[in-house]
Amino acid sequence: MALALRCLRPLPSLLHRSSFAVTRGLPQAPRGCPALLLEGCRQHVQQMLLSRQLATKKAKGKGQSQAKVNVSAALVEDIISLKETSEDMQAVIEALKEDFSRNLSVRTSPGALDHITVMTKDGKFPLNQLGQISQKSPQLVIVNMTSFPESTAAAAKAIRESGMNLNPEVDGTMIRVPLPKVTREHRESLAKLAKQLTNKSKEALRKVRSKSITQVKKFKNKVSEDTIWLLEKQIQQMADEAATEMDKLLAAKTKELLG
């Protein structure tokens, strides 16, 4: 009994350390203390930290909207990689930024047409791989489809349905694309497209969240309910923060478009 008490003596101070400290390893067993007993202590500390964290979050969250959760990635790396989940969510945000930059300019440039996707009998291709795009005047862009004449109609359709308020005119293998004047109606059309792109990105974000939560639930029979609860809250929190960032991007872009 004295030996056991001697081994457990360091535990109170350990419980005040961060969960990260646990992943760095507990102190070595005191001289004469069996390693097996220390290993049992080590496992109990990890579980107690998660339970303690859960109790703290629930207590703080009582009567409040949402409690802040911060699960140590190292403690749950055998269940899920929170880093990968974060990276996947950030990739969705970056894709939205690129869509805004490429497709939502008040003044359409030839470069804005480059990545319009054209559906052909051989698959999907960016417009700039099928035709040569050039600007003949401030009000007119020409797409030369001589290299792939059979895709001319499909290219014109893709331009028309791009959401950029463009009305192409086909003349043989040449597609004339008049650039719309910067009217209030055009600005509002772009702002509406910005909203649509944001909603599409939020749907992609929800898929990342659902995939991660599904991964966590696979371990519901192997780890405690507290651990599952904390991880689900952490993933939801990450998704909420990403959605908030998207809303800020949309607000900034809408302000830019509407002036």
Per-residue pLDDT tens digits of the chain, which is 259 residues long: 444 444 444 444 444 444 444 344 444 545 544 544 444 444 444 554 555 555 454 554 444 445 677 777 777 888 889 999 999 999 999 999 988 887 787 666 667 788 789 999 999 999 999 999 998 888 899 999 999 999 999 999 999 988 777 899 999 999 999 987 778 887 888 899 999 999 999 999 999 999 999 999 999 888 889 989 999 999 999 999 999 999 999 999 999 888 7
The DSSP bridge partners found for residue 139 are: none
Counting Cα atoms < 13 Å in the Cβ hemisphere of 125 gives 14
- 246 and 195 assigned to the same domain: yes
Q: Which residues contact 58 (CB under 8 A, 6 or more apart)?
A: 67
Q: Kindly state whether residue 4 falls inside one of the protein's structural domains.
A: no
Q: Which residue's entry shows tokens 């990739």?
A: 91
- 174 and 191 assigned to the same domain: no
Domain boundary among 148, 178, 208: 178
Inter-residue contact 140 to 177 (CB < 8 Å): yes
Dihedral angle sign, alpha carbons of residues 199, 205, 207, 213: negative
SS3 content of the chain, % helix, strand, coil (to 5): 60, 10, 30
Q: Kindly state whether residue 235 falls inside one of the protein's structural domains.
A: yes
Q: Kindly state whether residue 202 falls inside one of the protein's structural domains.
A: yes
- 156 and 195 assigned to the same domain: no
Domain boundary among 122, 156, 178: 178
Domain boundary among 178, 195, 210: 178
pLDDT of residue 78: 86
- 198 and 95 assigned to the same domain: yes
CATH of the domain at 221: 1.10.132.20
- 163 and 199 assigned to the same domain: no
CATH of the domain at 128: 3.30.1360.40
pLDDT of residue 3: 47
Angstrom distance (rounded) from CA 185 to CA 187? 5
Q: Kindly state whether residue 6 falls inside one of the protein's structural domains.
A: no
The structural domain count of the chain equals 2
Angstrom distance (rounded) from CA 139 to CA 208? 41
Tell me which residue range forms the domain holding 154: 110-178
Angstrom distance (rounded) from CA 145 to CA 155? 9
Dihedral angle sign, alpha carbons of residues 127, 133, 136, 137: positive
